[in-house]
Structures are given as C-alpha cells and as structure tokens.
Structure 1
Amino acid sequence: MKRLHLVFLLFATCLGHAQNNSTLNDYEVTIDSLKNAISTSKSDSLRCIMNYRLAYIYTKNVDKKELGRTHLKKANELVKNNSYLKDLSCYYNSLFFSLTKENLQKFRKADEALKKYNSREIYILRSKILFNIGLLYQRENEPLQTIEVLVKEAIPVAKKSKDSQELSNLYKLIAVVFYNNEDIAKTKYYLDLSISTLEQGKSKKNRYNEDLIELYLFNVEVLSVQKKTNEAFEYLQKAEDLLKSYPLKSLYIEYYFAKGSLNQEIKNYEQAISDYDNGVRLSQLNKDSALEQRFKLMKYEVFILQNKIESAKDLLLDVFKTGGMNIKDRAYYSYELSKIYRKLNDFEKAYVYNEQYIQLKDSLSQMFEAEKIADIEAKYNKLENENKIKELTIEKQATLLNQRKNMLFLLLLSFALVCVLIFAYFIWKNLKNQKKITAQKEINHFQKLNNLKREKEIEIMQTMINVEEAERKRVARDLHDSIGSKLSALKIIFANTQNKNDYNDSRINTILETSIAELRQISYNLVPESLLKLGLEKALGDLCFTLRSDTVSIEFHSYEIDNSMPLTTQTNIFRIVQELLNNALKHSKATQILVSCSQNGNRFYISIEDNGVGFNISEIEENQGLGIKNIKSRIELLHGSLDCESSSGGTSYNIELDV
C-alpha cells in the first residue's frame, strides 16, 4: 500500500496546482486585446470586467500572480456602487485565497453572492468556487465533506453551465478522493465519467489537452492496480500521442511516473528504472525535490523486487542524505535499511538503523499521544466554559425576573394614564391623517394621469417607429426588386447592342453601374441586409466598415453580443449607432472614431468616441434636431440612459440599454 500512497500524492499535487502551472502562451492575444480595451474604453464597468479577466489569466502562472493582484486591485477600485460587479468581485478575489479552513467562509460568501444569477457564465464561476471548497476539504483530509460538496452542490451547478471541462474536473476530484481511500471500484467509475465527459465535450479551451493527458495517465495507474495491463498500455499510448504535440515538462513527469509504475507491475524492471530515472531528471530540471525523492523511492522498490540489495542500499542512503522526508517515511525506510544491512550481514549498521526506526516510532507515538492529550484538554476546557456560561445565564435570568416584577408594578400604576393619553392621541392623529389621505389621493390621481399620459406617448412613439421601419422595408424592397432589376436589364441590352450602334457605351455603362450602386446603398441604409441575415454584431461591423474613408478611420470592437435578441431591439440599437456615426461624420471633423459594443446578461453597452472639434452640450439640449430626438426616443424605448461628454479634443457617448 506504500506505492498507492505515492501515486495519490502525485495526482493530488496535479489537481491542486493545475491552474497555477500553465504558461501564458495561449493567452497572449487575449491579454493584448484586454489591455487595448482597457486603455480605450471610457466605461468604468467595462474596464472593471476587463481588469478582472486579466487578473484571472495571470493567476494561471505563479510568476505572474503579483501582476494579477495589481489588476485585481484596479478592478476592485472600479466596482463602486454597481451591485453586479460587487457580486462578481467576490469570485475574482477568491482566486487569490489559499485553500485553508480559515478561508472557507470567504469561498462560501463568494458562492452565495452569485446564487442570484442564472447565466451560464455565472454557473461556470460557481462550479470553480465549489471545486476549490471540495479541494480544501480534501487537503484537510475530510473525504466525506469533499464528496458531499462535489456531489450535492458542485456537479448540479456544473451541469447547468453545460461546460464539459468543469464537470470533468469535478468527477476527477471525486475519483482522487476514492483513490486515496483505496476504493478502486468507485475510483474507476468516476474516472470513466470524467474521461467520457471531457472527450464528448471536446473544445478548444485552454488546458483541454492537458486535462485529457492527466486523466489518461491517472487511468493508467488505476488500471495497473486492477491488473488490467493491456488496457493500461492503450491509455498510456493515448497520452503519449497527445504529448508529442504538447511537450510540457510537468506532464512528462506524470507520464514517466505512470509508465514506470505500469512496467513495474508487469515486471519489466529495467524499463521501469529507465522511466523513473527520466522522472528524476525532469524533477531536477523543475527544481521539485519532493517529486525527485518520490521517483527515487519508487526506483528503490524496483531494486528490492530485482533483489539488487547493494543498489537499493545506495539509493536509500542517497535519499536520506538529501533529506526532506517526513517522520513517517523516515521511520519506514529506516526499517527498510535495517533489513537490507541484515541481508548484507552488516549487523552493526542494521542495529543502528533499527534503533533509529524505534526512536522515530517512539516520536510518532509521543506526537500522537500529545495530540490526544491536547484534544482531551480542549474538550475539557470547552465543557468547563459551557458550564460557566450556563451558570452565568441562570444568574442573569434570575436578575431579569426580579426586575420584571418591579417593572410590572410600575406599569400597572401608569397603565390607566397611558391609555387615556393614547386614546386622545389617536383621535387627534386620526383627524390629521384624514386630511393627509385626502391630499395624497389628489396627488396620486394627478400622478396616475401623468403616468397614463406618458405610457400613451411611449405607445404612440413605438407605433410610429414600427410604421417607419415597415415603410423602410417596403421602399427598400421596391427599389431593389423593381428599379434595380430594370436598370440591370437596361445594362444588358446596351451591352448586347454595343457592336451594332455608335453609342458612347462606356459612359452609359458607367452611369448605369453608378445608379445600381447608389440604389443598393439606399437599400442598405433603409434596411441593412446583414442585420436581417447575420445579426446585430455583423451589421454593426459592416456599418463601420462602409462609413470608413481615406480621411476618417472607424474602429469597431464587440464583446459577447447576443444575436438572438428580438429584431426590433437589434434594429433600435443599430439605428442609434448609425445616427451617432452620421452626426460625427457630418459635424465633428474627426479623423478617428472608436465604436465599442458589449453585452452582459440583459444589459447592453454602447461607447462611441471621436477626436473631432466637439460641441456645446447646453446648446444642443436647447435646440435638438430630429436625429438627437430620434436617438433619445429609441434609448427611452429600451429603458436606457445616455451620457455625453464633449470638448475641443473630441466627443464621447456612453449608452446603457436594457435588452
């Protein structure tokens, strides 16, 4: 069972630090994009979310964790009074908590803060938090609590997120818990669930291949324990095929451990020693002395199986010389050295190591007794304190009872007077309230009339906009199908008669091509085809691309836009952006315009900035044109808000809509 414990130790390490050992190579494009968005965005909410995402990415590499803390601090400063961002901050701050009992309530608080949201993204964050809570219990050697958290809380949440990678990681942690408790049957059940879940939900997400390799290697260990060597070699080959295109040193350490264990199981001892030597070499390169020591101890087990006593002795002495073993391992391998020296007839050294073994066992026993004594003392002190609290509580209750008797006598004497005063007060209060109620009814009636009037105005406005959009569609269809087709036919006729008549065909064709192009542009302006067919995000991108010129650069950024919104909502958003861009092109004299659109749940954010000459906001408020009124009407229909800032250096619009 010594070997089983060593194997578990390696996989527990992999689980505990998987997120911290990743490189940032796969995230470079994302990091650059997030940094650019932070530097250009004027929205505090967007900048807050971008900084949180950068902090999350940097937690994946130990060397960059301090940089992650810097972005976390910036994001926390931008939260302000936004309730959603406050709840979101609980998760991102939990990424920097150590997995100790002292932080358990902080993890629970983070999960509780996100329970009110039902989006897929939030379910993924919650499953990560619950995974860490389970891992915390597992490290505290509390397997029952680990299983309970994972099965009753984490897995249902992960299933709602529909993220196969998160669900697979939860199954893998359950398998490790059962593996540590030597329940191989349940280990295999949950490990198979983890592998099938990950394989069926194949994705291009970061760490997908790494997770799959770790699962295959873990399965090799379990199959080896079950004596299913043929199947174990199949999974070892799968892992090896993936490793060829994914050469991470840490994964090769796991590979050599699994391969060495399997070769040891089938008594291919020389190959097992070669595998363990490769593991030692990579552990030294990674400067991981603990793993290096474990590989050497596994190699020692092989030497014993080969009856290479001298080699086994030299290896154990080297491990003892290096140091770093815990007291239990030192006791165990002291006894092993004692047996080796007896076999070599060196009874003097056998006696020395046997004495060392006895001393270490005594130390362990003393430590165990000390822990038991401390536990008994703690229980006794707790009981004493509880008894003292009970005595104080009884005394306090007796004192309170005497005070209540005295107070009751005084209350009875004053009760009659108080009743009279209360009766008089209620008569006066009733008369006063009647006047207030009458006045309030008049105010409520007036407010109700105003609300009805406002609702009617909004209803009329919505009807006007719907009629306008329907008319635009009809005009666009007629222009495209009728006049456009006739002009195209005319072009074909002139082309067919080109060699028969002395017309200026080149000029005629040019005029016709220009007319057709203008008709198509008119049709696009009325109802953009890309909005109907490809959705809002593509339509906005096409709009920005179409309005570019040699003198004006228009840059468009989008983040998580949901193209399944109702068409009327998408159309309103498109018209808002279109009108603002037209205003900027007509009046601002700008050379650069930046358009940013993003969506978070049912909130949609629009940010448009230019480097033009700006304008006087107060004058615009007094003399609003049809374009500005149209923009504000659409924003009001979507229960949104508009924030405008303008100076001689440029103008920025920040719009928040409810979609």
Structure 2
Amino acid sequence: MPIRKYALAALLVFAFSGLFSQDKKADLQQLIAQSNDTAGINALMNYGVELINFDNPKAKEVFNITLEKSARIGYDFGMGSSYARLGYLVGHEGRNQEGIDYAQKAVAHFERINRTRGIILCYINMGYNFDMLGLGDSAIHYFLKGIQVLEKSKTEPGKLARLYENVGTGYANRREYAKALSYSRKAVELATSLNDSDYIVTAHTGLSYILNQSKDYKGALEAAQKAKRFLPHQEDPMLIIKAYSHLAAAWAKVNEPDSAIAAAKKSMLYSAKIDPANYIAAGLELADAYELKKDIRSQKNILDTLKQRAEADTSFFHLFSIYDRIAQLNFSTGNYKEAYAYRTKYFAYKDSFYSRQNTRTIAEVESRFQWAQKEKALSEKQLQLTQKDLALEKSNRNVFYALAGLVVMLLIAAVFYIQSSNRKKAFALKLDALHKQQEIDMLEALMQGEEKERSRIAKDLHDGIAGMLAAAKMHLGSIVRKEQGVEQSAHYRQTVKLLDEATGEVRKTSHNLMPEVLLQHGLDEALRRYCGNVSSSTLTFQYDSWGDIERYNSHFELSVYRIVQELINNIIKHAQASEAIVQVNLRDAVLSITVQDNGVGFAKADSNTNGMGLQSLAARTKAMQGKMEIESDPGAGVSVYLEFETGAVAKQPAQEQRA
C-alpha cells in the first residue's frame, strides 16, 4: 500500500519564510532586547523563520516571545504570524488538534487587519492538521477555501499550485481519482509555467502519489523521477524528504526493492529530527521494500523501530499502518498468535481514533432518554396525588355544607356549584396539560432513542463489517505471497476491487448515520454540504444563510439536521421538482428555516402521506419547543417554515488563551 502523503510541510515552511525579507542573522539576545516595537518584533520573527526545520525547539521559543510582545502592544500581524508558526511546529510534532487551535486564533488576527496572505497560510495549516487527524473531508474543505480566495485575487500562483496539489491528494485518499488527477495536473501545469523548482518538485510528487494510488505505477515512477531531477541545488530538507519518499514508493511498486530501499533511507535520514510523520511514512516504505526482497529480519527490525517511535509519540494514525504490517509479517511467518494480537491492536487503535468524537453524543442521548422516562413516571404520580387531594377536599366540603342551616342552603348550594365548576375546569386544564407534556416527553425519548440506534448501527458497521472486510483482504494478500501469478488473475483483481468498494460503502454509510461534518463544523456548514451533495442534474438545491449561525448543543443541532434532512428527502422522493431552496436565518436568537420546492404539491388533507409524514415532523418540532408551518396546493409546490428559540441551546464561546 502506498504511503500516506504529507506534502504540506514544504508548502507551510516556504510560505512562512516568505512573510518577511531575509536580511541577515543577528544575535538572538540582541534581537529580543530590541523587539519592543513592530520593527523589532518583525526582525525577531524573521530570525525564528530561519530556524524552522533546522532547530524547531529554539524556533518555538522565539515565536512564544514574539507572541507575548505582540500581545503587549496589540500588534495583530505579529500575533497572527506567531500563532500560525506555532501551529505549524506543534502540528509536525503530532499535536494536531493544538495546531488547529493555533491556526484558528491566527485567522482571527489576520481577518482583523484583512491580511489575505496570512489567512491562506492558516487554511493550509488547518487542512494539514485535519488530514493528519484522519478527517479528510475537513482538510479538503479548508484547502478549497484557500483556492477560492487565490483564484479570485489572482495573486501568489505558487501557493495556488501547491493548494491544487494538496486537494488532489485529498481526493486520491478518498479514491476519487478523476477529481484528484484534474487538480494535480492543474498544479503541474501552473508550477511548470512559473519555472520554480520548489513548486515543480511538490507538484510532481503529488502527481506521483495519485498515480500510485490509481495503480499507474509506471507513470508514478516517471513523475517521482522528474521531481528528483528538479530538486534545487541549495538543500531544502523538506523537498528532499518528499521527493525520495515518493520515489521509494514508486520503485517498490515496479518491483525494484534495492532502489526503493536506497530512496527510503535517504528520506528517513533527512526527516529523522524535523518531521516525525514523514520519518515513519518513509520507514513503512522501507519495510515494504524489505518484504519484496524477502528480507524478513530487516523488515522486522525497521517495523519494531517505527512501532517504538509511534507509541512514544502516541501517533494513532501511524500505529494503524505499523500494527497492520506487523500482523501481516507474523501471519506470513506462521506466527499466528502474534498476528492475531497485532491485528487486534490495529482495530483497537483505529476504533479509538474514529469513535472518540461519537462517544459524548451517544452518552448524552442515553442520559436524556433515561431522564425522559423518569419525568414520565413522576408526572403520573403527581396526577394520582392531585386526584386524591381533590376527592378529599370534596368530601370535607360536603360535610361542612350538611351542617349548615336551611336558611343559607340555597346560597351554599350556589357557591358550591360555582366552585365545583371552576375546579373541574382547572383540573381538566391541568390534566390536559399533563397529557400533552407526557406526549412530548415520549416523543423526545423516541427521537433520542432513534439517534442512539443510529449511533449503534454506525459503530456496528465500522467495528464489525469493516473489520471483517479488512481481514478478508489480509488473507487475500497472504495468498498472493504464497501463490505466484495470482495477482495477475482478473478474478483476484476484481475481488480486491469489490472489497475496496464494499469497505468504502460501509465507511460512507457509517459516517452518514453519524455525520462528521455536523460534529466538526456545526449546523450551517452541515446543511450547506448536504444540499450540495444531493443536488443533481434533474434537481438543484440552493442553500442560503443569513446571520452569524452559532454552534448549539449537539442534541439540538442533530435534531434540526434530521428534520431538514427528512424534508429534503421528501422533496427528492415525492415532489417531482426541478428546483428547491433551503434558507437559514438567525435573528434576535431566533433560528428560522424555510424549505421550498417547485414540485407537484399536495392538498393539506394528504400531508401525512409525504415521506415519514409532515405531521410526524411537526410533532418533533413541537417537542423541541419550536413551531412548523406548511403551505401547499396541488401543482404549486410545498413550502415548510421552521422556527426555534436558540437562547437556551447556544454553546458558550470558549475564551481565548492568553499568550
């Protein structure tokens, strides 16, 4: 399997170094002493840029100082640049979530001074860190945002070429090879027109990776060799790491293990101190090359080394690949007990990584369901006590009236009648309110139970079927090593293809049941992407939003998302429409959503026949203390209006940590 590509490192280093002119190195202590104004801070940051990838600990020390000094004088450019570089450095230490946090802080400062160049660098940094966390969809999202800005401004074509290359890599990781090659060839064309060796090397390594993934091994080798020829005369360690890493992967695929070993060792030599991610990636290529040579001892030694390093860094993503290869090695040598142990570790670490984000949601759904059940039982007991109290009060009142004289009988009877009537009305109103509240509680519990079941099914698909498919593929790989010529069989290739497609479909279904984008980016971005995904040549969904759509608690966001999702599905299944629009508006803590189509419509009497039933959706909305209005006539389409109060469900914004 080709290594996962980490080409963003060179782009970030190159981009950071371009923020300032490189005049000359100065004594660090002298620069710190002089960095009390913007010019001094800029000079100190320039010194720190020169240290990146050569002395990263000292570089972090410099940027922490520039961050503190910039905050002291309110220098937004200095704070944004310091946060951005710290995000790059901690991200390449494997602290990717911390890298994302730094980049988001940097964006806020760059946006305040309208610094487009800095914003682009933050998008690149966030994309890299999301990719390292295994969140490819979010990574591509930020790369495309950068491309959109640069294509519109028509500035910095070099960075645009590198963003094209990284989007291509992202699509290749998702096996969308047509899109991947389209963006990669744009990167090669633009880099070649600039005649810049750095850009040309990056573009061709990206093309090599995509061709390798799509099994065009000869083309992948040609692209990697071209990248090596264009390495600049002045040594750039990140470019050398990339070029030789992809060259090793390409040589291995054309069954030239000696060449692959030489290239992988050179990549590891340069990345050992400055880039742990690429060090492990190149080491995996070296292990694969030793496997081709049947050098079991060397393969085992390098995998043991990589395992120790990845476990020390708590790098879950790398542990997936390392444990997988160790399991296959033990299986091929007949050590089935160790193979099973490492295969179990592989699934455990992989599950821990992907399941972490769903754990809180599942726990919250379970807690709310239990609470709804307790509330229902409490309401029933309160109703019984109320009925007993009323009966006792009525009995006491009758005794009192019996003792009264005949003189006041008519007056007492009149008073009794009025009071009894009023109490009966009050009791009926209270009883009706309790019944309605019970219905709402039961519906809310049902909704949360459904979401719990979705989470359980998603986990079962991911843990069970996906694991069985992976094990089946491992056994096929074992057959290839033992039976010569099987890999060339059309039946074998078709079987592997079907396994890959089945794995992809299971993963896609799992993510749809518990959407990643909703957890990561919130309701607004999730609905925007869902509308884009379901649009087709015959039915176009337009999505518009106004106001600053906030993040809300996960239960509220998920419930609203499911309601709108069902409305959209009803349009697709029943409306026979060609156009539809989804509009989201937040004003004065009121979230309003309109879903409208130009389809066949329906009479209001038939509203419960559309999909799961608009009446059911109205009940769900009511359970969330919202309201739903429907307008439709035959031939006039359908318009559904939703409204929710958001004051009680908005998340509290996290306070930014002081520098």
TM-score range with shorter-chain normalisation?
A: 0.3 to 0.5
Taking structure 2 as the reference length, the TM-score comes to 0.44
Larger Cα-atom Rg = 1
Taking structure 1 as the reference length, the TM-score comes to 0.44
